[in-house]
Each structure stands twice: as C-alpha cells, then as structure tokens.
C-alpha cells in the first residue's frame, strides 16, 4: 500500500509538472500572439498616420497654390490699374505741357 501511495504521488507530481509546462507553453504563446498583434496594430497605426500626413500635405499644397493664384490675380489687377492710371496721368501731363507750350508760344 505505501508503494501505491508513492506511485500515486509520483503520478500526481508528474501530472502537475505537465500542467505547469503546458501553462508555461500557453503563456508563452499568449505573449507571442500579443506581441504579433501589437506589432500589427503599430504598423497599421503608422500606415494610417503616414496616409493622413500625405493627405494633409496635399491639402495644404492645394490651399497654398490657390492662395498663390489669388495673390497673383490681385497683383495683376493692381498692376493693370496702376498702368491705366499712369497712362491717364501721362495724357494729362502731355496735355498740360502742350497747353502751357501753346500759351507760351502764343505770348511770344
């Protein structure tokens, strides 16, 4: 009977060791799976971040180009206005000079 008790104890100890080993293996697998999933999540977030960054860059570039066109348009309008005013002033100046010249010729 004592031999049978020892044999049972040994069986229980072996079963406990197997359960511990199995638990270690399961724990290791869970950790490995967690690491893999974590890496996948990080890669996905990084990819999404890069995609959003590129989208934002494109939007800002388009907005900048639009603003540049508006500024150029405004510059062209002001340039034309200045040129037109210069022509009018030149015409007035020429008329004034001619008028003064006619008066001065007429007086001589």
The residue whose two tokens read 């040129």 is 83
pLDDT for 3-14, tens place per residue? Answer: 887 788 888 899
pLDDT for 12-22, tens place per residue? Answer: 899 999 999 99
- Angle (CA) 1-20-40 rounded to 5° is 165
Predicted TM-score of the model (pTM): 0.52
User: Which H or E run contains 56?
Assistant: helix 2-107
Side-chain-side CA neighbours of residue 57 (13 Å): 6
């Amino acid at each position: 009977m004592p031999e049978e008790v020892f044999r049972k104890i040994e069986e229980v100890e072996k079963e406990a060791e197997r359960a511990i080993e199995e638990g270690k293996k399961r724990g290791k697998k869970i950790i490995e799976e967690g690491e893999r999933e974590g890496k996948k999540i990080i890669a996905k977030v990084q990819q999404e971040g890069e995609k959003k960054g590129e989208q934002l860059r494109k939007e800002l570039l388009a907005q900048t180009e639009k603003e540049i066109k508006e500024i150029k348009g405004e510059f062209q309008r002001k340039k034309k206005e200045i040129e037109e005013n210069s022509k009018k002033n030149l015409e007035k100046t020429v008329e004034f000079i001619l008028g003064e010249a006619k008066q001065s010729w007429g007086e001589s």
